[in-house]
Amino acid sequence: MWSAQAVNNIGNQFTFIALQFLVYNLTESTVAMGILAICQTISMITLGPYIGALVDRYDRKKIMVRSNIAQAIWLFAIPLTRFLPNRVIWIFMLAFLMGATNRFFFPSRASSIPKLVSKDDLLAANSLSMATYQISAFVGPVTAGFLIARIGYDFAFIIDMIGFLISAFFIQKIMIDLKPEKQGSNVTGNGDQPSSAQGGVKADLKEAYVFLKGYLAMVFVIILFAFAMFGLGSSMILMIPFLDQIRNPISAEEAFGVMNSLAAITGLTIAIILGRKNKLSLPLTLMSFASVLAGIMMIGFSTASNVYILAFYWMFFGMLEVMAMIPFQTLAQETIPDILRGKVFALFNLVITSAQIIGMAAGGFLADSIGIRTTFLFSGLVVTTASIIGLGILVVKHFEKDVQTRRTSYIESQAEFEPI
């Protein structure tokens, strides 16, 4: 699983940069950048809940392998769009297909990790996963920016295509059973038995809703992430055109690659620190604090007069992402039963993706009317204000105490598991 992720992540960094610059060079429009981002993420709204239900019903290894192979096919098709009229429209369609296919992978992988390691190693495993992502984010963008500027975009898509095929090969070699546990074999966070053994996808989704209805601390986390992703969405699509507006001694492609590599260094550092801990005593507070800092960084973007100042603020994004994602994944794996885990992860993706799409759309259109700097300022103020309010709710509602109680009671209810 780790090898598949490592290969896959590096290739994804190539596509991430190449696709954005390709669309921007074809259109020179911030609105087109927003449409691209929406095409990549809109599938989460239409398919997300059903994907989670399927992940909790079928072999997760097969889902991941088939997702990787489909992604390779879509990537192979992108260079071929140069021979078609209205090329950008075809790119938008392929971006949608890639986004839809990729939605099957994350909940499958996140739900499978507790089957690969013991419960005491979940934090370390998630930290390793995030550290691997940060290493790829360090190597990938700067290499991609350098090569794309000299060789072209098609090279990046081919590299990522090969990476997906290698990833599928590695996942296929996993010998541990990654099928979800049978319906009714686990308890929910409220102590109730799942009841939809034969109820179908709609009944599965109802179980996840009932579970979260009684788990307000997890609902709090999902809403917190939604506000953060709103600001991140608007920031991401505006970063490339913003690089064309400020003083920059190198090409925009190279500058964007270097900035992402700097963010990866800070993220890797935090991942290593968290990976050395046995457990996090205040995970919700850590996530809330990261969200506050993210809002402040977005406000900082609006003040940047050159690429050096912009890179200083951007590099903290990698650190903040790790501070939020590792606690969330570990907490979800520790307190959510296996039979509900895929659905909850998919619901999480649904909510934050919807928020990200709204942020992308707002960012693209606001930038055309009020300017990029003002849009950065607006997004940062929204995220910062919401996060500070969230910290207050966290204290008043005693969510940290609820999380610790659930973590202890759920772990004690499980039989001791040692990985093969």
pLDDT tens digits, 307-353? 888 888 888 877 887 888 888 888 888 888 877 887 787 778 778 87
- 419 within a domain of the structure (yes/no): no
- 330 within a domain of the structure (yes/no): yes
Q: How many domains does the chain have?
A: 1
- 221 within a domain of the structure (yes/no): yes
Asked whether 21 and 145 are in contact (CB, 8 A), the reply is no
For tokens 């307190």, what's the residue? 335
- 106 within a domain of the structure (yes/no): yes
Longest Cα–Cα distance of the chain, Å, equals 62
- 197 within a domain of the structure (yes/no): no
Beta bridge partners of 306: 247
Asked whether 77 and 312 are in contact (CB, 8 A), the reply is no
Determine phi and psi for 130, rounding to 5 degrees.
Answer: -70, -35
Determine phi and psi for 247, rounding to 5 degrees.
Answer: -65, 125
Question: What pLDDT, on the 0 to 100 scale, is given for residue 329?
Answer: 84
Determine phi and psi for 59, rounding to 5 degrees.
Answer: -60, 115
Question: What pLDDT, on the 0 to 100 scale, is given for residue 413?
Answer: 55
Enclosing domain of residue 242: 2-180+203-413
Asked whether 73 and 79 are in contact (CB, 8 A), the reply is no
- 172 within a domain of the structure (yes/no): yes
Any idea what the CATH number is for the domain that residue 75 is in?
1.20.1250.20
| Closest listed residue to residue 204, CA positions, set 218, 184, 224 | 184
Residue 154, C-beta contacts closer than 8 angstroms, at least 6 positions apart: 78, 79
pTM above 0.95, yes or no: no
Radius of gyration of the chain (CA): 21
- 185 within a domain of the structure (yes/no): no
Helix axes 43-55, 200-213, angle to 10 degrees: 100
Helix axes 307-335, 122-151, angle to 10 degrees: 150
Beta-carbon count within 10 A of 195 CB: 14
Spell out the per-residue pLDDT of the chain, length 420, in tens.
888 888 877 777 788 778 888 888 888 776 787 788 778 777 767 776 677 778 878 888 999 999 999 999 999 999 999 888 889 999 999 989 988 888 788 778 888 888 888 877 888 888 888 787 777 777 776 677 777 777 778 888 888 899 899 999 999 999 988 888 765 444 444 433 343 444 566 676 677 778 888 888 888 888 888 888 888 777 777 887 888 777 767 777 678 777 877 888 888 888 888 888 777 788 899 899 988 998 998 899 888 888 888 888 888 877 887 888 888 888 888 888 877 887 787 778 778 877 877 887 788 778 878 888 898 898 889 889 989 998 899 989 888 888 888 877 755 555 444 444
Q: What single-letter DSSP state applies at residue 306? A: B
Beta-carbon count within 10 A of 53 CB: 22
- 191 within a domain of the structure (yes/no): no
Asked whether 400 and 285 are in contact (CB, 8 A), the reply is yes
Q: How far apart are CA 201 and CA 189, in angstroms?
A: 20
For tokens 């509602």, what's the residue? 397
